[in-house]
Structure 1
Amino acid sequence: MYDLIVVGGGAAGFFGAIHVAEQRPDLKVAILEQGNKVLSKVRISGGGRCNVTHAEFNPAELVKAYPRGEKELRGPFHVFQPSDTVAFFEARGVPLKVEEDGRMFPESDSSQSIIDCFMDSVNTLGIHLIKNALVVEIIPVESPVHGKIWEVKTKSDSFHCNHLLLATGSSQKMWNLLKVLGHRIIDPVPSLFTFHITDTRIEGIQGVSTNARVELVSRELPGKKLSGAIRTSSKRSAGLTSEGPLLITHWGMSGPAILKLSAWGARILNEYNYRFRIRVNWTPDYHQEGMYAFLVEVKEVEARRTVFRTCPLEIPKRLWRKLVLAAGITPDQKWAEVQKKQLQQLAAQLTSTEFLVEGKSPFKEEFVTAGGLDLREINFKTFESKLHERLYFAGEILNIDAITGGYNFQNAWTGAYLAARAITGSEN
């Protein structure tokens, strides 16, 4: 008989178990992991460096990184936020550092530092780590001694506990078990994915990265008018615009600007079956008319030089040359020879290039879904189920997900901490 069983040997599960065991050393705690390895996602996060959290310490701003969960996490982040995460790891000998974009990593630049920290804590605190324990059934039972308890069945064993913390991430099997318990599951769809695009304007320049603004246009093919139904969808997603570094790849586009758009648009892009149009502004400080006026000035100053080799903007030269050609300007054409229509076309290519997206690929460093346990069924002061006492949740098992940058881990830390605090009775 355990005081707490944590199902899921990942970030949220370890964090919750460690906090419970530290606050109440008298409690018997176990972690059940379905496979033979734990903390797998921690190991690969951030390219093996582990993007632990993000250096945003204002909860009101922090929640803006969560397409699902923004409203619900505001209160929890006032209790446990990135500064608390930093303090947790530094107290255990794992100092963190902040990179220019706000992402926070261990100073060692190795996820092994986080894994070692967790494993050392689990061993020191006497937490039972049970691997190869795939949970197949969760049953609330009445005990004559303990009252309502939980029976957790695996393929080969049966465990009992007073409190149950589920931290299994995006697990369809666990969601199915929760449906049996009466919980509602929001069907999962992919979030944080890159775009498949085949287009001569980006062909052969993989590796080019630049700051850009990306906007969802529609799901229709180029040149077709929007139907009434799609126009309604477009209005619904009027804010579906993202700005940041955009990376051109062998298969299309990636980088923070694309990943953020995929996260905020996860459901509508799923409805579009991942075939839609985007508009890219490669020079976010300009609109099309302003760019045209600027190019007219450049034409006067650089009259004798070729357009192809004279890039007056802070964008990669390889990208500039592709857009020049797309505007119908030849490689040997001088600025003085460029016609008004060609300048207008170049301004359009620079500020409002449209691309057809024909599919997606998961972002290799983070595997995130939009969907999971309905947030209306959770008490966000404790992360306890509103349907069942002593049943808690943390991490991506909930219908919470974030853009890339350490935010998904912060959700895991915060939820696990609040659940642990409620389990140990140390809320005050």
Structure 2
Amino acid sequence: MFDVAIIGGGAAGFYAAVHAAEANPKLKIVIFEKGKEVLLKVKVSGGGRCNVTHAEFNPHELAKNYPRGEKELLGPFHTHFSGDTVAFFEEKGIPLKIEEDGRMFPVSNSSQTIIDFFLSEADRLGIKVMRHSAVTNIEPVCSENGIKTWQITSIKSTYQAKKVLIATGSSPKIWGLLKKLGHTIVSPVPSLFTFNIDDERINGIPGISANAKIDVLAKPRNNTKVTVKLKSELATEKPILTSEGPLLVTHWGMSGPAVLKLSAWGANILNECNYQFFIKVNWLPDYHENGVFDLLLEIKEIERKKTILRTKAVDLPRRLWTNLVRASGIPSDMKWADVPKEKLQQLAGQLTDCKFKVDGKSTFKEEFVTAGGVDLKEVNFKTYESKILPGLYFAGEVINVDAITGGFNFQNAWTGGYIAAKAIAEER
């Protein structure tokens, strides 16, 4: 008989196990992991460096980074948030550093530092880690003396536990078991993903980055050709989603924080569009089209003898400027003095009103995140215990909480794991 059975050997599961064991050293704790390795997301996060958390130390502002869960996480973040996470790891001898964009990593720059720490702590605290132990069933049972316990069946054997913590992340099989137990599961959809775009204006220039404003306009209509000025209803449609920030051109289309924010906040909307939609990019978010046109007219007078292709008029990567000039129908050898006003108007449109057709998505690196999971109305966020099944707890992405990129999804895991662990240790 275990006091605590944790299903899922990831960040939330290990963080909860360590805190529960430290709060009550007498607890007999087991972690069930379906694979041969534990902490796989920790391993790949941040390009192998582990983006532990984000340097946002105001609970109200921290909660704003969660498209699903913002309201529910506000209370938990007042109990355990990024500052507490930093303090925990530093007290354990793992100092963290803050990068320019606010992401926090171990000073070692290696996710193995975090993995080694959790494994050594589990060994030190007597936490049993069972690998290759996929759980196939969970059910509440009553012992002979009437005390309710839990029966956990894995591919290896059947076990008993007084409390169960589900920390499996986005696991359709576990969601299926929870649904059988009476929980409502919000259908999962991808949350962090990049946009697939095949367009000559960005083809051949992967790695180009620029600060841009992106508007999601609508699902494309059949046979609609994307041009600078669309001759359709799209030209007057209001954006259904908007984001501003670094945009990265990739081999497959577009990524970067601006795109990832859209994919997170618009997870359900974009899923309904079947990932077929239009976006409008303003490569110069501080300007509108008429302002840029006026600027180009001024440059036309000043740089009359120079070719427009080689005279980069705005602060953009040169290869992107070149592609946008060509997309405006301006010949490579044309001088500023010879460029017709209508061509400059088209260039102003390309710079501020540049429309692209998105045709599908790609997973953002190895950091697959979904929107969906256990309905938040069925979780007590003071303890992370199920409101339907006493003795059953949750932590991490198994519930319908997800975040933008930058360490926020891990912070959700640390917070849920900590609060569930404290509640479990105190109830015994």
Q: Does 1:376 align with 2:377?
A: yes
1:55 aligns with 55
What SS is found at the alignment partner of 1:372?
strand
Deviations 1:249-274 (A, max 9, x none): 11111111111111111111111111
Deviations 1:67-99 (A, max 9, x none): 111111111111111111101111111100000
1:349 aligns with 350
Residues 254-265 of structure 1 aligned to structure 2 (within 5 Å):
254-265=255-266
Q: Does 1:194 align with 2:187?
A: no
Change (3 A) 1:380 1:47: same
Q: Does 1:276 align with 2:280?
A: no
2:395 aligns with 394
What 5-or-longer segments of structure 1 have no aligned partner? none
Task: Kindly provide the amino acid, as one letter, of the partner of residue 242 in structure 1.
Answer: S
Give the aligned length.
420
Deviation at 1:365, TM superposition (A): 3.5
For the 8 Å contact 1:30–1:130, the answer to whether it is kept is yes
Task: Kindly provide the amino acid, as one letter, of the partner of residue 383 in structure 2.
Answer: T
Deviations 1:372-423 (A, max 9, x none): 1110100111111000111100001011111110000000000001101111
Deviation at 1:21, TM superposition (A): 0.2
Residues 139-150 of structure 1 aligned to structure 2 (within 5 Å):
139-145=139-145, 147-150=147-150
Deviation at 1:243, TM superposition (A): 1.2
Distance 1:365 1:135 in 2: 24
Distance 2:96 2:379 in 1: 31
1:13 aligns with 13
Distance 1:305 1:73 in 2: 57
For the 8 Å contact 1:191–1:262, the answer to whether it is kept is yes
Deviation at 1:145, TM superposition (A): 3.9
Deviation at 1:226, TM superposition (A): 4.4
Distance 1:267 1:225 in 2: 25
1:363 aligns with 364
For the 8 Å contact 1:65–1:402, the answer to whether it is kept is yes
Deviation at 1:426, TM superposition (A): 8.1
Task: Kindly provide the amino acid, as one letter, of the partner of residue 245 in structure 1.
Answer: P
Task: Kindly provide the amino acid, as one letter, of the partner of residue 191 in structure 1.
Answer: S
Task: Kindly provide the amino acid, as one letter, of the partner of residue 204 in structure 1.
Answer: G
What SS is found at the alignment partner of 2:372?
strand
What 5-or-longer segments of structure 2 have no aligned partner? none
Q: Give the TM-score, by structure 1 length.
A: 0.95
Residues 155-194 of structure 1 aligned to structure 2 (within 5 Å):
155-194=155-194
What SS is found at the alignment partner of 1:65?
coil
Task: Kindly provide the amino acid, as one letter, of the partner of residue 326 in structure 1.
Answer: A
Deviations 1:215-270 (A, max 9, x none): 1011124446449xxx9xx76x73x1111111111111111111111111111111
1:210 aligns with 210
What SS is found at the alignment partner of 2:138?
strand
Change (3 A) 1:60 1:282: same
What RMSD in Å do the two structures reach over aligned CA positions?
Answer: 1.6
For the 8 Å contact 1:34–1:132, the answer to whether it is kept is yes
Change (3 A) 1:395 1:286: same
Distance 1:139 1:404 in 2: 35
What SS is found at the alignment partner of 1:43?
helix
Q: Give the TM-score, by structure 2 length.
A: 0.95
1:318 aligns with 319
Deviations 1:284-320 (A, max 9, x none): 1111111112212222221221110011221100000
Distance 2:75 2:254 in 1: 36
Q: Could you tell me the percent identity over the aligned residues?
A: 59
Q: Does 1:242 align with 2:247?
A: no
For the 8 Å contact 1:218–1:226, the answer to whether it is kept is no
Distance 1:212 1:278 in 2: 12
Deviations 1:169-217 (A, max 9, x none): 0000000000111000011111111111111111111111111111101
Change (3 A) 1:5 1:146: farther
2:83 aligns with 83
Change (3 A) 1:224 1:5: farther
Change (3 A) 1:226 1:370: farther
What SS is found at the alignment partner of 1:269?
helix
Task: Kindly provide the amino acid, as one letter, of the partner of residue 34 in structure 1.
Answer: K
What SS is found at the alignment partner of 1:284?
coil
Task: Kindly provide the amino acid, as one letter, of the partner of residue 60 in structure 1.
Answer: H
